[in-house]
Amino acid sequence: MRLSRYFMPVLKETPAEAQIASHRYMLRAGMIKQSAAGIYNWLPLGLKVLRKIEQIVHEEQAKAGHIPILMSTVQSADLWRESGRYDAFGEEMLRISDRHGRDMLYGPTNEEAVTDIFRAHVNSYKDLPLTLYQIQWKFRDEIRPRFGVMRGREFLMKDGYNFDLTKEDALHAYNRHLVTYLRSYERMGLKAIPMRADGGAIGGDYTHEFLVLAQTGESEVFYDSQVTDLTFGDRKIDFDSVEECEAVLQEFTSRYARTDETHDEALFNEIPEERRATARGIEVGQIFYFGTKYSESMGATVVDADQKQVPVHMGSHGIGVSRLLGAIIESSHDDKGIIWPEGVTPFHVGIVNLKQGDDAADAACEDLYKAFVKAGLDPLYDDRKERAGGKFATMDLIGLPWRITVGPRGLKNGVVELTSRKTGESEELSPEAAIAKVVEIYAAH
C-alpha cells in the first residue's frame, strides 16, 4: 500500500477520553473511530489487525478439528426462555422487539442458539464428538464500557461449543481448546496464563480464564511466578490423543494461578514466599465445561449405544478477538506508539522515502516496494511529500516491526537503513540484503 493513497486518519492530538495506551494509540493511529459509547467503527488499519487475529484463531481451531459456522447476531427471546437465561442475563442483554411485537435480542453469547442447531440435526452418539465455533459480533450492554475495544458493548468474539457423549469426552474437548488457545495467543506475541476462574453467567464450575499480565488489566490475579516461565512453542500435538492434551493442561494449570473470583489465600500461602506473585491481568479468553446445563433444559439429547436418550455434555470456549488488539498493544508499546509483534502486524514493513521527488530515492523505494509484494509480503510505503521527522513519527506510532529508510545519501553508497521498531537498532544494508532479511524474518511466522 502507498500511504498517499491509503486511508489512515492519524490524529496529532491525544484524545482526551482515552485513559490507557492501547485506546490512545488505536485512536491516534486511525485504527478505530467511536460510533457510540463502547461501540466502534473499524478503519482500515484496525480492520487489518482484526483480520490477522481472526486468521490465527481459524488456523489453530482447524488443527483441532473444530468446525466454523456463523450464527445470527439477532436471536429470538423464546430460545433464551427455554434455558431460563432470558431473565437471568439481566440488563447486559440488549432487548429488541420486531414490528410484530416479538421479543428479540442481540446475542451476548450463543449457547442457546448453537444448542438449537444441534438438537435439530444431531440424534445419535455416532455423530459425536462435535465442536462448532464462530467468530461473530456480540453485544453486552456493559454498565461501564471503557478502555476502547477492551471493554466494549459491541465486540468480536470467537465462541466455540463442544458436544460430547460423556463427561470424559467433554473434558478432552476442554483440553483441546486449552491447547489451541495457548498456541493462538503465542502466535499473537502474547503470554496468556490459564487461571482458575468462576463460571458466571455462562455456568459450570470448571472453567479457566486466560490472562495477559498488564498494569491496566481489570482483573486482580494471584499466581506462582513459575507459571510465567511456561511456553507452549511450536509443539506438534495429536488432538485425538486424550493423554497428550491432558498433559498440556496439567503442565499449564497445576501451579497456583487464580483470579480474584476464586482466589484462596490459604492455598496461595502454600507457595514458597519468593514465588508468590500478584498482578493485574487482561482476560483474553475463557473456557468452560458446564455439562448438561443447556442440553437438559433444551432437550438436546442423542441415542447412546444402548438406545437410550441421553443429554449431551457441553462446554463453551471464548476468545475476545477485538479485545485482543487492546491487550497486544498494552503489552507491546512505548512512548512513541505501538510495537506490533510480527504475527499480527497490519503491514510487514514500512518504507520511508526521505526525499520524495529525488529520482534515485523514488526509484529505489519503488523497487523495494515491488520486491516485497513479489515476495508475498505487505509493505506500507510512505510516499508522501512530508518532512522526514513526520514520517518517522507516523511509522513509530503505527508500530510496524521493520522500517526501511531510503535517502539519496545512503543510496550513493549503495545502502538503505533497516530499523527494528522493538529495539530501535538500525543497520545499513544493500537493498537486496534488506529485502532478504525481512523476507527471512517473516518466513518464520
Give the footprint of ligand 5CA on this chain (CB under 6 A).
109, 111, 140, 142, 151-152, 155, 157, 159, 202, 283-286, 316-318, 320, 322-323
Nearest approach, Cβ of residue 288 and ligand 5CA (Å):
6
CB of 346 to ligand 5CA, least distance (A): 20
CB of 384 to ligand 5CA, least distance (A): 34
Give the list of residues 6+ apart from residue 330 with CB closer than 8 angstroms, or none.
Answer: 20, 21, 22, 212, 214, 216, 217, 282
Residue whose C-beta lies closest to ligand 5CA = 320
Pairing of strands 67-68, 130-139: parallel
User: 155 vs 347, which CB is nearer to ligand 5CA?
Assistant: 155
- Residue 152 or 379: which CB sits closer to ligand 5CA? 152
CB of 202 to ligand 5CA, least distance (A): 5
Alpha-carbon Rg for the chain in angstroms:
24
Least CB distance to ligand 5CA at residue 445 (A): 23
Q: How far is the CB of 55 from ligand 5CA (least distance, A)?
A: 18
Rounded to the nearest whole angstrom, what is the least distance from the CB of residue 192 to ligand 5CA in the complex? 10
Return the number of the residue (293 or 317) whose C-beta is nearest ligand 5CA.
317
Q: How far is the CB of 153 from ligand 5CA (least distance, A)?
A: 7
d(CA 155, CA 258): 25
Q: Which is nearer to ligand 5CA, 52 or 323 (CB)?
A: 323
Nearer to ligand 5CA, 6 or 206 (CB): 206
C-alpha cell at 391: 514520517
Q: How many residues does the chain have?
A: 445
Nearer to ligand 5CA, 294 or 392 (CB): 294
Q: Which is nearer to ligand 5CA, 157 or 277 (CB)?
A: 157
Residue 100: how many other CB atoms lie within 10 Å: 5
Q: In whole angstroms, how close is the CB of 140 to ligand 5CA at the nearest point?
A: 5
The CA angle 29-33-36, to the nearest 5 degrees, is: 155
**What single DSSP character describes residue 6?**
S
Number of H helices, E strands in the chain: 14, 23
Could you tell me the sign of the dihedral formed by the alpha carbons of 214, 218, 224, 228, in that order? negative
CB of 160 to ligand 5CA, least distance (A): 6
Closer to ligand 5CA by Cβ: residue 157 or 438: 157
What phi-psi label fits residue 399: left (phi over 0), alpha (psi between -120 and 50 degrees) or beta? left
Q: Residue 60 or 383: which CB sits closer to ligand 5CA?
A: 60
Nearer to ligand 5CA, 12 or 144 (CB): 144
Nearer to ligand 5CA, 263 or 336 (CB): 263
The answer to whether 321 and 380 are in contact (CB under 8 A) is: no
**CA 172 vs CA 162, 164, 184, 193, 223: distances in Å:** 10, 9, 18, 19, 25
List Cα–Cα distances, 39 to 33, 109, 140, 228, 345, in angstroms.
9, 17, 11, 33, 23
**Least Å from the CB of residue 247 to ligand 5CA:** 24
